[in-house]
């Protein structure tokens, strides 16, 4: 059986938006869609505990209603649903072992201008076995909106999974691909010839990283840029007007700052478009 695109539903309207985005992604990939709702009652007083059958009925209705919406938009899409009576993080981590892509929703703007991403979503982005897409947007927002795919890459320790994911997404969407590499320039008084040499070397390194992917995806138009900024700010700024931002995180995320590294951390909290976090070794 082909691996599915899996969307986690939590009952908030933004997760329905993420499910619609996941359905569009499944169609692009010619993959089935799996909808999962996981729940585990927390510590509440006896008077506050809802009857288990009422919780089950609500959860089953959430899955059924979302499935019906998606079948209406994508009649040929294979959709399966499951209600998992476990805590969400563990359930979705298990789902990531057999998914092409795990899709989660994000709940709007926080008080400092960043997007709210709960601890569960952050841990899933850091530890899931497959790429994780974090989707924000008002309920009813159009999934798959037009726009470039943007990817942040490094050249010091180049990896394959991140550009591979980005090129594949751009090809499936018929979108342009913008590649961003952040560089630290010398102070202006030290530029001249040495600065030009550094720029030429940086461009050459970036071209070398992208060359095999350009050859594999000749139909993808690529705009590769060197940006004099911190990597986190560079990818967030480049994502304005994009349909998707792709960033990487080390597969051993627990050892990295914030679990997913500073670049992915900036992207998932501040980028204005959906963000795909791709693990690499």
How confident is the prediction along the chain (281 residues), in pLDDT tens digits per residue? 799 999 999 877 788 899 999 999 999 999 999 999 987 544 344 444 555 567 778 888 999 999 999 999 999 999 999 998 888 889 999 999 999 999 998 765 443 333 345 677 888 999 999 999 999 765 555 565 679 999 999 877 778 999 999 999 999 999 999 999 998 764 444 444 444 566 788 889 999 999 999 999 999 999 999 999 999 999 999 999 999 999 999 876 544 545 788 999 999 889 989 999 999 98
Please determine whether the domains at 5-136 and 149-280 fall in the same fold group of CATH: yes
- Evaluate the CA torsion angle 241, 149, 256, 251 in order and state its sign: positive
- pLDDT at position 26, please? 97
Assigned architecture for domain 149-280: 3-Layer(aba) Sandwich (3.40)
d(CA 80, CA 62): 13
Beta bridge partners of 215: none
d(CA 183, CA 123): 29
Domain boundaries, the chain: 5-136, 149-280
- pLDDT at position 107, please? 62
- pLDDT at position 139, please? 52
Q: Is 6 exposed, middle or buried (CB count within 10 Å of its CB: 0-12, 13-18, 19+)?
A: buried
Identify the residue whose tokens are 């805590």: 87
Assigned architecture for domain 5-136: 3-Layer(aba) Sandwich (3.40)
pTM for this entry: 0.86
- pLDDT at position 145, please? 65
- pLDDT at position 174, please? 96
Alpha helices of 217-261 — where are they, by DSSP H?
231-238
Q: Treating both helix axes as pointing N-terminal to C-terminal, what angle do 52-73 and 13-29 enclose, rounded to 10 degrees?
A: 40
Residue 105: both structure tokens together: 């929703």
Alpha helices of the chain — where are they, by DSSP H?
13-29, 52-73, 88-96, 119-127, 161-173, 192-216, 231-238, 262-270
d(CA 166, CA 172): 10
- pLDDT at position 185, please? 66
d(CA 129, CA 114): 26
d(CA 267, CA 242): 13
- pLDDT at position 250, please? 85
């Amino acid at each position: 059986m082909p691996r599915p695109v899996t969307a986690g539903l939590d009952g908030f309207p933004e997760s329905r938006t993420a499910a619609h985005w996941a359905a569009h992604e499944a169609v692009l990939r010619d993959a089935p869609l799996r909808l999962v709702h996981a729940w585990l009652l927390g510590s509440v007083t006896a008077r506050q505990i809802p009857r288990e059958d009422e919780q089950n009925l609500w959860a089953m209705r959430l899955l059924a209603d979302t499935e019906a919406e998606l079948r209406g938009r994508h009649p040929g899409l294979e959709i399966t649903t499951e209600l998992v009576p476990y805590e969400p993080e563990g359930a979705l981590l298990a789902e990531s072992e057999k998914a092409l892509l795990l899709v989660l929703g994000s709940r709007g703007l926080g008080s400092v201008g960043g997007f709210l991403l709960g601890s569960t979503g952050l841990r899933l982005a850091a530890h899931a076995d497959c790429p994780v897409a974090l989707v924000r947007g008002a309920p009813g927002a159009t999934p798959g909106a037009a726009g470039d795919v943007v990817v942040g890459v490094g050249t010091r320790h180049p990896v394959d999974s991140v550009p591979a994911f980005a090129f594949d997404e751009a090809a499936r969407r018929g979108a342009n691909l913008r590649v961003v590499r952040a560089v630290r320039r010398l102070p202006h008084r030290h530029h001249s010839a040495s600065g030009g040499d550094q720029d030429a070397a940086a461009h050459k390194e970036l071209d070398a990283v992208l060359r095999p992917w350009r050859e594999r995806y000749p139909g993808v138009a690529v705009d590769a840029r060197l940006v004099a900024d911190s990597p986190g700010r560079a990818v967030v700024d480049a994502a304005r007007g994009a349909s998707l931002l792709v960033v990487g995180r080390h597969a051993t995320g627990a050892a990295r700052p914030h679990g997913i590294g500073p670049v992915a951390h900036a992207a998932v909290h501040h980028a204005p478009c959906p963000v795909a976090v791709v693990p690499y070794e």
